Amino acid sequence: MTHEYYIKYTTRDLSTGLISVIKFNLLSKIGDDKFVGSYSVPLPGSADDSGFIAFDSLTPSDLLSFINKYGGDADANNGLELFQSSNSGSLATLMTPISTNDLPPNVNSGKITV
């Protein structure tokens, strides 16, 4: 299974450049089957925090790092794994058929002459 992250947008404070939300889609694929989940990750902090990265200097890698760090549960740094697991479960559900079109084994061609 492959996973591709598509950052849709960030919400930022225009005066400080601080990002408060990252909105993204996650595309998970197995062969021709795919599932796209839409997610949002709130980011804590302030522009005064050590390690603050100016908006114009952020890279895709930085954004993925934020998603991983703040997108998880109480155990930080598992956000990517949680989003991918969620998508994988949704994709597996889509790939598991709940109905099918077929004939009973004793009805050979479907033709019935009366």
Give yes or no for a contact between 43 and 62, defined as CB atoms under 8 angstroms apart. no
pLDDT greater at residue 28 or residue 107: 28
Round to whole Å and give the CA distance between 60 and 24. Answer: 12
Task: Give yes or no for residue 110 having a pLDDT over 70.
Answer: no
Contact 3, 25 (CB under 8 A): no
Stronger pLDDT, 74 or 114, i.e. the higher one: 114
Q: pTM of the full predicted structure? A: 0.77
How does pLDDT run across 19-54, given as a tens digit for each residue? 999 999 999 998 888 899 999 999 998 999 998 999
